Amino acid sequence: MMKLVFTGVLAIILLGLGGCASTSTSSSQTQASSASVDGARAARINVQLGVEYFKQGELEQALKKLERAIGQDPNLPSAHNALALLKQRLGQVEEAEKHFQRAIKLDSSYSEAQNNYGVFLYSQGRYREAETHFLEAVKNPLYGTPELAYENAAMAAQKQSELDKAEDYYLKALQIEPRLPKSLYRMAEINFNQGHYQQAHEYLQRYRAVARHTSQSLWLGIKIERELGNEDAVSSYALLLRQNFPDSQEAQLLRESMERQR
């Protein structure tokens, strides 16, 4: 965005310097360039306003601002990305995809749009395509949250039963941000399923340090500690599961497993 603005401003400065030998042509070019810069500036402001309305749940106002932004600058990637997210929220799937694709076509290094499009594709069950766009997002060294894109790519790989690849992506995410709850939980789960119970225990302990337990994490903890023979830990997890999630599927699984042990 800043590069586009700087180029526009630079064009005005150069035209201004040439204005000493003013002609009607140079004057009209200056006015056209100025109008273009004004339109781009107005478009960015409308994107900001649209995003704020979106966050506040005022979707009609958000739609007006974002459509106005695209009218002012049809080549503004952030406007297409924001409008795609809004269209997705409104359930307008084809329109959402059109604007995601437009944002990426305008700027393939726009990591936020790549990641958001990946999330959109994931929600449509298009996991292979989603994974591709998550990985495109992390190619930009200036992307602020590559760990989330790696985590998303891992989830897409899991949906395709590619567990080795998923594990690799989760590990890359945790190398960047070691306190990612979802990646820590998934690594505990993967290691448990592989029979690596001590590693699963360690990942779940790291998860416990950064996030609240869910019924799923407590049940996983019970299964891990049973394999390790830690009965006190099993009892502690079971008590928390019964107290905090008595109606959950995992609590039912616990009851069934205890019945079988009698």
pLDDT in tens, the chain (262 residues): 323 222 222 222 222 222 322 333 344 444 444 545 677 899 999 999 999 999 999 999 999 999 999 999 999 999 999 999 999 999 999 999 999 999 999 999 999 999 999 999 999 999 999 999 999 999 999 999 999 999 999 999 999 999 999 999 999 999 999 999 999 999 999 999 999 999 999 999 999 999 999 999 999 999 999 999 999 999 999 999 999 999 999 999 999 988 887 7
DSSP string, 32-44: HHHHHHHHHHHHH
- 76: which DSSP letter? -
pTM score > 0.85 for this model?
Answer: no
Query: What pLDDT digit, counting tens, does each position of 75-127 carry?
Result: 999 999 999 999 999 999 999 999 999 999 999 999 999 999 999 999 999 99
What does R_g of the chain's alpha carbons equal in angstroms? Answer: 26
Let me know: does 96 contact 127? Beta carbons within 8 Å. Answer: no
Smallest CA-to-CA distance from 251 within 240, 235, 236, 262 is with: 240
Smallest CA-to-CA distance from 77 within 108, 52, 49 is with: 108
Sorted by where each starts, the structural domains of the chain and their CATH numbers stand as 42-107 (1.25.40.10), 192-261 (no CATH)
Let me know: does 189 contact 204? Beta carbons within 8 Å. Answer: no
